[in-house]
Amino acid sequence: MEEKAALRRILERERKARKESEKILEEKSLELYNANQELLKLNSSLENRYQKIVEQANDIIYRGDSHGFCIFVNSVATRILGYSTDYLLGKHFTELVTKDQIKDVVTFYNKQRASLTENTYYEFTVKTRSGEIKWLGQNVSLIIENDEIIGTSAVARDITEQKQTEELVKRNEEKYRSIIDNMKLGLLEVDTLSLIHI
């Protein structure tokens, strides 16, 4: 009899402990669910903010997969390049590079990949949808996990005006250098501090 009573007490304690454990587990599950919901809201909010920043930028921002095919591009690319977002998604980055520069561009980025150089800057020309040639100055960051490239992120700025200005200055320098070289006069350049006393 005493053994049965002792056994009942043990079973009752175990039942009570199990109920308390289930209650604690239920409370913790609810806490975890609520925390997860808060994280989802926060994540959604951060994604919206990030998306706004990306879309309000003045530069082309895009991501490529591990082989260089476009998996994301902001709307600025449409404005600068003239191609729709849908057209650009899935394209390899070299498909827009002008034919005369593809070899150099591929060589440059292959070196970056081979050396796992995380960030680089390179300038090259692209052909827009309308056939116009534009210069881009591009920063590319490799996305690396366990010493393996899993993708790229890039920011490309339209530097066409800057390149045109540089070319104009270069042509003017060459023009005036040619004029001076072909003159039959001697030239002497003197500043105000170089006074000659006799």
pLDDT of residue 3: 80
Reply yes or no on whether the pLDDT at 16 is more than 90: no
Q: Is 57 exposed, middle or buried (0-12, 13-18, 19+ CB in 10 A)?
A: middle
pLDDT of residue 58: 87
pLDDT digits (tens, 9 = 90+) for 61-71: 999 999 999 99
Q: How many angstroms separate the CA atoms of 93 and 138, rounded? A: 12
**72 near 55, Cβ under 8 Å?**
no
The beta strands (E) that lie in the chain are given as: 60-65, 70-73, 119-127, 133-145, 148-158
Vertex 6: Cα angle to 4 and 8 (nearest 5): 70
pLDDT digits (tens, 9 = 90+) for 155-183: 999 999 999 888 888 887 877 777 667 76
**142: helix, strand or coil:** strand
